[in-house]
């Protein structure tokens, strides 16, 4: 790989210059549509605040992907002649009133498709999307979003369903007579707790000893009390149901307390990121996750996109999730226009088109997206990855997650 990874400085603070860069990026990164027929799609996410790092990264990638599609072209993807997609976005700072306000503005503008980054916002907006007939893809699937299926879509299973794959993997490699002791650690938020109920139920059903969930802040200052308590209870595995900004201080505390060699750590897909590797170094060794998208180095297209528009590998996550969510929007809009025409394009037509996707995999990742009336997860496949020698590597093939309906 020829790109270089950008060192992350100021890990915990978003600088004013960084915010300005994001604002300028959205203002100028998209090509001028000129006289083309424009289809507007919206993106709502916490571009500022504690969860802003992954959201800014996702926004940048989506802008770059649409730009690449417009300027270079992507095999297997197209729009009718003269049609272009314009991405508009809004920052909700993880505040529901802001999400609702942004959503209403987008509806008034006539957007036909939405990306919603904050899963809590997606749950709140789900009935509004149905009422206004605006389909949306959430970047984090929860039970309330997926079941019963509505106007919110995803491209991987819910958190307890992904954990179920990890749980089976743990049990398949467990060689002690006693059951493995497992605990969830996460934030006191709907998504932080999303894995809790069904995850504990599934773990116990296959013979695990599941302990009560431990709650930590999004950016914890000291998790020593929780870690010492879990160490005393003989916990074998800690699954962190939060992003990397939560994982880094937890792992640093575990290293300081000398328990990283006694307890295995893993967690939510976003937590297993380049930022984690850079911040922790050898402490990240063995960190595992069930990923709904491949690691970015496995998809050459991403390297080309980064180098073309950034000149370097600038990534806080892995980027491959963009290759699942972005082409889905393009393909659904293409099919909708071919069915009803540009003049009649609306959210209903885009949703109808989404429901026709079967094994859609334009980047050849081996994980096709299929939407069915009873299943809007897109794909139930996940692959387990582990940090080995400072690299994130796959240790299983794609595995199907069970459907855990509440």
pTM over 0.75: yes
Please report where in the chains the tokens 């199907």 appear, as a residue.
400
Please say if the pLDDT value at position 33 is more than 80: no
The predicted structure's pLDDT at residue 244: 79
**Which CATH number applies to 16-157+297-375: 3.40.50.300, 3.40.710.10, 3.40.50.800, 3.40.50.2300?**
3.40.50.2300
3-state secondary structure the chain: CCCCECCCCCCCCCCHHHHHHHHHHHHHCCCCCCCCEEEEEEEEECCCCCCHHHHHHHHHHHHHHHHHHHHCCCCCCCCCCCEEEEEEEEECCCCHHHHHHHHHHHHHHCCCCEEECCHHHHHHHHHHHHHHCCCEEECCCCHHHHCCCCCEECCCCCHHHHHHHHHHHHHHCCCCCCCCEEEEEECCCCCCCCCHHHHHHHHHHCCCEECCCEECCCCCCCCHHHHHHHHHCCCCEEEECCCHHHHHHHHHHHHHHCCCCCCEEEECHHHCCHHHHHHHHHHHCCCEEEECCCCHHHCHHHHHHHHHHCCCECCCCCCCCHHHHHHHHHHHHHHHHHHHCHHHCCHHHHHHHHCCCCCECCCCCCCCECCECCECCCCCEEEEEEEECCEEEECCCCEECCCCCC
**Which CATH number applies to 159-291+382-400: 3.40.50.720, 3.40.50.2300, 3.40.50.300, 3.20.20.140?**
3.40.50.2300
Domain assignments of the chain as residue spans, ordered by start: 16-157+297-375, 159-291+382-400
pLDDT band of 201, cuts 50, 70, 90: very high
**Residue 138 φ then ψ, to 5°:** -90, 140
The predicted structure's pLDDT at residue 216: 95
Judge if 16-157+297-375 and 159-291+382-400 fold alike in CATH terms.
yes
Q: Express each pLDDT in 118-148 by its tens digit.
A: 888 999 999 999 999 999 999 888 899 999 9
Positive or negative CA dihedral for 393, 396, 401, 402? negative
Percent of the chain with pLDDT over 90: 74
The predicted structure's pLDDT at residue 140: 81
Structure tokens at 190: 């709907």
pLDDT band of 317, cuts 50, 70, 90: low
Structure tokens at 203: 């773990």
Q: Express each pLDDT in 324-358 by its tens digit.
A: 899 999 999 999 999 999 999 999 999 999 999 99
Structure tokens at 364: 């050849």
Positive or negative CA dihedral for 382, 119, 77, 357? positive
């Amino acid at each position: 790989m020829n790109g270089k990874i950008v060192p992350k400085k100021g890990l915990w603070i978003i600088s004013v210059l960084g915010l300005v860069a994001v604002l300028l990026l959205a203002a100028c990164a998209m090509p001028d549509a000129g006289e083309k027929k424009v289809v507007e799609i919206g993106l709502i996410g916490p571009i500022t605040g504690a969860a802003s790092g992954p959201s800014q990264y996702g926004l940048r990638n989506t802008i770059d992907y649409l730009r690449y599609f417009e300027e270079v072209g992507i095999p297997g993807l197209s729009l009718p002649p003269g049609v272009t997609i314009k991405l508009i976005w809004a920052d909700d700072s993880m505040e529901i009133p802001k999400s609702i306000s942004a959503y209403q503005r987008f509806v008034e503008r006539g957007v036909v498709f939405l990306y919603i980054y904050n899963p809590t916002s997606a749950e709140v907006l789900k009935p509004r999307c149905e009422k206004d007939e605006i389909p949306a893809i959430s970047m984090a699937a929860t039970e309330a979003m997926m079941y019963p299926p509505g106007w919110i879509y995803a491209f991987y299973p819910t958190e307890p369903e992904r954990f179920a794959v990890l749980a089976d993997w743990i049990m398949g490699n467990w060689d002690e007579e006693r059951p493995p002791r497992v605990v969830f650690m996460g934030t006191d938020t709907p998504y932080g707790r999303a894995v809790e109920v069904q995850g504990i139920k599934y773990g116990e059903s296959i013979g695990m000893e599941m302990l009560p969930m431990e709650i930590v802040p999004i950016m914890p200052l000291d998790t020593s009390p929780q870690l010492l308590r879990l160490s005393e209870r003989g916990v074998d595995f800690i699954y962190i149901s939060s992003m990397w900004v939560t994982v880094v201080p937890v792992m640093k505390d575990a290293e300081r307390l000398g328990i990283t060699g006694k307890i295995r750590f893993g967690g939510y897909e976003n937590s297993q990121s380049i930022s984690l590797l850079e911040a922790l170094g050898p402490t990240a060794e063995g960190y595992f996750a069930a990923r709904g998208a491949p690691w970015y180095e496995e998809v050459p297209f991403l390297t080309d996109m980064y180098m073309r528009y950034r000149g370097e590998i600038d990534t806080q996550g892995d980027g491959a999730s963009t290759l699942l969510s972005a082409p889905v929007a393009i393909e659904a809009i293409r099919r909708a226009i071919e069915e009803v025409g540009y003049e009649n394009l609306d959210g209903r037509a885009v949703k109808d088109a989404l429901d026709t996707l079967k094994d859609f995999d334009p980047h050849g990742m081996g994980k096709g997206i299929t939407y069915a009336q009873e299943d809007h997860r897109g794909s139930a496949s996940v692959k387990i990855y582990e940090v080995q020698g400072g690299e994130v590597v796959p240790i299983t093939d794609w595995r199907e997650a069970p459907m855990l309906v509440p």
